[in-house]
Structure 1
Amino acid sequence: MSALRRIGLVSALFLVAGAAAGVLWEWLWDPTTGVTYQGQWYLEPAGPDQSFSSIALFVVIAVPLGIVLGVLSGIWRDQEVVTTVTVLVAAVGAGLLMYAVGHALGPPDPQVLAAAKPDYTTLPGDLVLTAPDADRVAWHSSALVALPAGAMAGLVATYLLGKQGLTRRSRG
């Protein structure tokens, strides 16, 4: 298989899986709720178990998906350097795409909606990878390394452990 074809297939595999994982992330996530008060949205009930549920679910989906995709990419036994670089770049893209799709399918930003709502109106939170604070950038999160970390772990495991079962023994 040529290097360009391998790059294309691995990239397509990761990007399609990343988009599907974003749909799954949004589908499995239970929106957190909060209330408006003086034009601001506040998580109710407050607490780390509420505000980080979307982050935990993202990681729970992304790491195993990355491992599976890394193993699938590592099964082809030639052009390991090209495959490794492609897996790393494609996994970063898949993680970003997973976030973008899940966030786009989720509810809108409650901080924006709270400005036009009366006090004590209940609004669902949005699907992001940070705490629901007003000054946070929604995609600044270390959770975005979950899919690339899983992919590299699966790929490295395939290269280190899979070679014994896939290569022919010397008969000389």
Structure 2
Amino acid sequence: MSDQVVVEQERRGAAGALGRLGVLVAVFVAAGAGAGVVWERLWDAPGGLTYQGQWYLEPAGPDVSFEGVALFVLIAFPLGLVLAALAGLRRGHEVVTLVGVLAGASLASVVMYAVGSALGPADPQALAAAAPDYTPLSGSLALTAPDLDREPWLSTALVAFPAGAMAGLVGTYLLGSRGL
């Protein structure tokens, strides 16, 4: 083969790899946005009351505040698993696929949280500061307990999407072409 043909094949391979990377990231981010909408629609906002400028869950308890986190994981993990398994079915550029799936799933997790929390009710702690005592307010959609000192997005639940994606991709690569 001539040098020109080899250079042309390498250029096509690199363009195909970058295209695949872009498509994977775009698909994961779009799926994350859709999952955020689903997360918000399925979630039941916990109720609470204001007292002395603070908002308190009513009834209080970890099971009430954990519902949003559990629902996030129950949506994100299987979605990441399925999307990555589908991405892994197409062979070639496995390293690019791995990077694209991991980057896309990580971004999708953040987008899912951003969309879901933006569609949900406002932060009740901020609203409680100006509300009279015993005003009922709905809780906000967050990945942590609604405590005053907690960041609403700082949670290990954000790794559910990438963890599911890596499990799906590894499963596809290990079992996809050879079967069990």
What is the TM-score of this pair, normalised by structure 2? Answer: 0.90
Deviation at 1:157, TM superposition (A): 0.3
Residue of structure 1 equivalent to 2:27: 13
Residue of structure 2 equivalent to 1:106: 120
Structure 1, residues 10-50: CA drift from partner, whole Å, max 9, x if none?
Answer: 11110110000000000000001100000100011000110
Deviation at 1:116, TM superposition (A): 1.0
Residue of structure 2 equivalent to 1:143: 157
For residues 1-172 of structure 1, the aligned pairs below 5 Å read 2-164=16-178
Distance 1:72 1:11 in 2: 13
User: Could you tell me which amino acid in structure 2 is paired with residue 77 of structure 1?
Assistant: R
Distance 2:26 2:52 in 1: 46
- Three-state SS of the structure 2 residue aligned to 1:164 is coil
- Three-state SS of the structure 2 residue aligned to 1:149 is helix
In angstroms, what is the RMSD of aligned CA positions? 0.9
What is the TM-score of this pair, normalised by structure 1? Answer: 0.94
- Three-state SS of the structure 2 residue aligned to 1:163 is coil
User: Could you tell me which amino acid in structure 1 is paired with residue 51 of structure 2?
Assistant: Y
Distance 1:31 1:126 in 2: 7
Q: How many residues align?
A: 165
Q: Which runs of 5+ in 2 are unaligned?
A: 1-12
Q: Percent identity?
A: 65
Structure 1, residues 84-135: CA drift from partner, whole Å, max 9, x if none?
Answer: 0111111000000000000000000000100111100100000000001001
Distance 1:5 1:29 in 2: 36
Deviation at 1:4, TM superposition (A): 1.0
Q: Which runs of 4+ in 1 moved over 2 A?
A: none
Q: Which runs of 5+ in 1 are unaligned?
A: 166-172
Residue of structure 1 equivalent to 2:7: none
Structure 1 or 2, whichever has the larger Rg, is 2
- Three-state SS of the structure 1 residue aligned to 2:50 is strand
Deviation at 1:163, TM superposition (A): 1.8
Structure 1, residues 137-172: CA drift from partner, whole Å, max 9, x if none?
Answer: 11110000000000000000000000225xxxxxxx
